[in-house]
Amino acid sequence: MISSYKTMQLTLLSCLLLLACNSAHSGSISKGKSLAFDRSKGNCLACHTIDDGEMAGNIGPPLVNLKMRFSTRDALFKQVWDATTINSKTSMPPFGRNKILSEEEIEHIVEYIWSL
């Protein structure tokens, strides 16, 4: 009885650790979605069609299948952090470099658009 209780405790502990590690290394999809759609935050809809977002602009390409366009999540992060490192003439704002969004906020957004 005691040992099965211990096993249960251990299982619970490892689940909690896993959860903590996951959230430290990546963002949350739902937070990312609201940050991306928020007109005073990412405002990505001003230029991109995304998911079920309303009144989207078409200055940039629709954000779908990004795993086909970016080989790693890091490469996608770089595009949102500072798009000018990929295309110096882009009209996309350098969200990270210009501190429009925090690193954590960009992590959430990347988690969201990587999932589309």
The number of residues making up the chain comes to: 116
Torsion of CA 39, 91, 83, 40, to 10 degrees: -10
What would the x/- binding string for ligand HEC be over residues 6 to 45, using CB under 6 A?
Answer: ------------------------------x-----xxx-
Count of Cβ atoms closer than 10 Å to residue 77 Cβ:
20
Contact 113, 76 (CB under 8 A): yes
Token pair for residue 50? 């995304």
The answer to whether residue 109 forms part of the interface with ligand HEC (CB under 6 A) is yes
Which residue reads 């977002």 in tokens? 53
Binding of ligand HEC at residue 56 (CB under 6 A)?
no
Are 62 and 50 within 8 A, CB to CB? yes
R_g over Cα of the chain: 18
Contact region for ligand HEC (CB under 6 A) — 1-9, 10-18, 20-28, 62-70?
Answer: 62-70
Residue closer to ligand HEC (CB basis): 12 or 75 = 75
Which of 69, 72, 97, 102 touches ligand HEC by CB under 6 A?
Answer: 69
Residue ranges binding ligand HEC (CB under 6 A):
36, 42-44, 46-48, 59-61, 63, 66, 69, 76, 79-80, 83, 86-87, 90-93, 95, 109, 113
